[in-house]
Amino acid sequence: MSMALKQVFNKDRTFRPKRKFEPGTQRFELHKKAQASLNAGLDLKQAVQLPHGEDLNDWVAVHVVDFFNRINLIYGTISDSCTDQTCPVMSGGPKYEYRWQDEQKYKKPTAVPAPKYMSLLMDWIEVQINNEQIFPTNVGTPFPKTFMQVAKKILSRLFRVFVHVYIHHFDRVSQMGAEAHVNTCYKHFYYFVTEFSLIDHKELEPLKEMTTRMCH
């Protein structure tokens, strides 16, 4: 990574702490395995495949946390140009608007500015991935039956960050010389969620044309 990119993806730019895997845990070993295949320049389509003998829940959990960290960083790099004034609605172009809903404060889908949506989203994901009942870190602790459901919801909402960044802020990404990094992260994410059918095709629609060009 070039110096310019290192500054762009400086840890201080992200607006929350990274969730890390504890060394010595099964999840940490899987995380290392996933990173090693990426670093080895393995084709991303192959890199996302479930390693032989590994548990799918573990593999998905590792990637959910990793994508959360990476996408958080990507948004952090453009967050200065994503304001309540520039982005009064969380959208992906004129056709797609995303409203926020959770089980606490926003019981009905509510229109909020993009920065507010991002903040609510990252807080909401952080609560899920730090919850031992949903993302157990101890070897032998089973995943809840609802785990895949939760993972799918997290990933489909993270996809919306890509939609907003690509459609509304890609000039900023290009200005910073970060497009290759963002494109690689997107391809990795896209191949992963399609390999395991983790996002509904309707959700992927806003970036369909770009994805067809980028991910043959």
Q: CA–CA separation, 75 vs 13, rounded Å?
A: 9
What six digits make up the tokens of 34?
């996933």
Q: Cβ contacts of residue 165 below 8 Å, gap of 6+?
A: 74, 75, 78, 173, 182
Task: Answer yes or no: is 169 a known binding residue.
Answer: yes
Which one-letter amino acid corresponds to residue 26?
Answer: Q
Task: Answer yes or no: is 201 a known binding residue.
Answer: no
Return the ∠ at Cα 125 (arms to 211 and 128), rounded to 5°: 130
Candidates 153, 84, 150; CA nearest to 119 is 84
* Residue 102 Cα distances to 14, 137, 199, angstroms: 23, 25, 19
Candidates 183, 191, 181, 127; CA nearest to 153 is 127
Q: CA–CA separation, 15 vs 76, rounded Å?
A: 7
Instruction: Decide if 156 contacts 84 (C-beta within 8 A).
Output: no
What residues form the annotated binding site?
82, 87, 164, 169
Summarize the annotated binding site for Zn(2+) as residue ranges.
82, 87, 164, 169
